[in-house]
Copies of this chain bind each other. A is one copy, B any other.
Amino acid sequence: MVMKTRAWTLSARPERLPLRDHFALHEFADPPLDEGAVRVRNLWLTVGPAMRVRMSAETRGYLPPYDLGMPMGGWAIGEVVASNAATLSQGDLVIHQYGLRDFGQGPASAFEKLPRPGPAPEHYLNALGSTGYTAYVGLVEIGKPQPGETLFVSGGAGAVGSTAIQIGKALGLRVIGSAGGAAKGRLLRELGADAAIDYKSSGSLVDKLAAAAPEGIDIYIDNVGGAHLDAALALARPHARFALSGMISSYSQERASDTMHNLNRIVTQRIRVQGYLPFTDHLDGLGHFRDQMWSWIEAGTFTPLQTVRDGLDCVPQAIEDLFAGGFTGKPLIRL
């Protein structure tokens, strides 16, 4: 019996923002299951900004470019439907990176078994997964917050940003978030932010941040870069810690180019700027983090923010919308 998988592929490389027409759904015939391999039916998919980096022919990232016409992949939650591996059985719930398709197949080591019963599986694509852990590592391990300090979060209505805002409040920080538009600003307040900056309104980002944080900022959680990073430098207090996990502002540029006016503040304020990829260097702490985050969720201290859409067909529109700012929280696709 030949097994088929329907998978989204990149059909054309976007020059700037990715649009739904850059993607095509193809059906692939899967080989028989290897010894040690499993086959998984996907239940939840997601899309994320790092995908944009891989759409270019030469990535500036840490993952290789997508091949045109081949499955793109991404984080997904699935249920094992066939297993040739001792470690996984039919019916097991798993998280893996064979996403943006209906079935995933590969060596068992590429699939992490999730507890069942346990948290709702989609949490592992958001608060308990890469999104939550990115916010947590940046804020707790790199930011080393002290109660009463001021935290600034770019992309505050996004997946990582909305998580960082809530963790910041749980840790007793004063929190300022940035997002585009008044509606997102209200959302940031609902998440607990003490102040919200609308980066799309008229005026300079430096002035807006100075108004929201007249005494400056101590910690900056950034996955945007560009003008946001420059404004955060302008307002950094001595010994500020900057945790950088992405630079969305540059992902859709042919060649990244940022005009920075405040880099000298790194010296004068003795700022620490630390780039990080939580799933590359910080895997040891993932279990502890999940326990901590789940206890926050159960206590009502933390509410995962997500936008759910349905069906494999909605993937290209979800990618287009992600880069147009059309989501709040983590985009989740339910199959």
Smallest Cβ distance from A65 to chain B, in angstroms?
14
Residues of A in contact with B (beta carbons under 8 Å apart): 60-62, 225, 229, 239, 244-247, 250, 255-277, 280-281
CB pair A264 B277 closer than 8 Å: no
CB pair B280 A267 closer than 8 Å: no
Give CA–CA (A246, B274) in the complex, Å: 18
Kindly report how many copies of this chain are found in the complex they form together.
2
CB pair B275 A281 closer than 8 Å: no
Select A260's contact among B239, B258, B265, B270, beta carbons within 8 Å. B258
CB pair A264 B62 closer than 8 Å: no
Residue of B nearest to A271 (CB): B275
Smallest Cβ distance from A267 to chain B, in angstroms?
4
CB pair A62 B268 closer than 8 Å: yes
| A60-B268, A272-B272 known; A263 vs B277 contact (CB < 8 Å) | no
Select A267's contact among B245, B266, B269, beta carbons within 8 Å. B245
Give CA–CA (A225, B245) in the complex, Å: 22
Smallest Cβ distance from A177 to chain B, in angstroms?
20
CB pair A268 B277 closer than 8 Å: yes
Residue of B nearest to A262 (CB): B256
Give CA–CA (A265, B275) in the complex, Å: 8
CB pair A281 B277 closer than 8 Å: no
Give the chain B neighbours of A261 by CB distance below 8 A. Answer: 255-258
